[in-house]
């Protein structure tokens, strides 16, 4: 979490724990990478939900800046910490998924 001068950030917008929970859900899903690149819509829904979760967290951070609760610098620090969490290389979740990069990279044909 970024350091602030006079005020404390009481709300963590996105955490490692939250991200790891998503990764665990992917590991528990039946998702498999197919040679053809085609994946059934139901199988890839977990990745859409992951993206939505990260996007909503980022929008909440931006909203705090717009309301004057955080400075632009603080907002950028928070967004940077979210970026570090979700773009970090991931160990393979399972042999079937073969996921070792940000999951939404695989959905961009």
Assess whether pLDDT exceeds 60 at residue 104.
no
Assess whether pLDDT exceeds 90 at residue 14.
yes
pLDDT tens-digit series, residues 86-102: 999 887 765 555 555 55
Q: Is residue 77 in a domain?
A: yes
Domain that residue 20 falls in: 16-28+39-107
Give the whole-angstrom CA distance, residue 73 versus residue 41.
Answer: 39
Q: Is residue 96 in a domain?
A: yes
Q: Is residue 50 in a domain?
A: yes
Q: Is residue 64 in a domain?
A: yes
Q: Is residue 34 in a domain?
A: no
What is the number of residues in the chain? 109
Total domain count, the chain: 1
Q: Is residue 8 in a domain?
A: no
Q: Is residue 4 in a domain?
A: no
User: What pLDDT, on a 0 to 100 scale, did the predictor assign at position 108?
Assistant: 47
Give the whole-angstrom CA distance, residue 74 versus residue 9.
Answer: 10
For the purposes of burial, counting CB atoms within 10 Å of the CB of 87, is it exposed (0-12), middle (13-18) or buried (19 or more)?
A: exposed
Q: Is residue 95 in a domain?
A: yes
Q: What is the mean pLDDT of residues 10-35?
A: 84
Q: How many CB atoms within 10 Å of residue 100?
A: 11
User: What pLDDT, on a 0 to 100 scale, did the predictor assign at position 29?
Assistant: 84
User: What pLDDT, on a 0 to 100 scale, did the predictor assign at position 31?
Assistant: 76
pLDDT tens-digit series, residues 23-72: 999 888 877 776 665 656 667 788 999 999 999 999 999 999 999 999 99
């Amino acid at each position: 979490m970024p350091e602030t001068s006079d005020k404390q950030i009481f709300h963590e917008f996105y955490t490692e724990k939250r991200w790891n929970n998503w990764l665990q859900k992917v590991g528990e899903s039946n998702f498999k990478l197919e040679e053809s690149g085609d994946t059934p819509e139901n199988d890839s829904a977990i990745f859409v939900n992951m993206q939505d979760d990260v996007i909503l967290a980022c929008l909440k951070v931006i909203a705090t800046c717009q309301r004057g609760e955080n400075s632009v610098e603080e907002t950028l620090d928070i967004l940077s910490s979210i970026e570090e969490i979700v773009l970090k290389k991931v160990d393979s979740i399972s042999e079937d998924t073969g996921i070792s990069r940000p999951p939404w990279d695989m959905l961009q044909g």
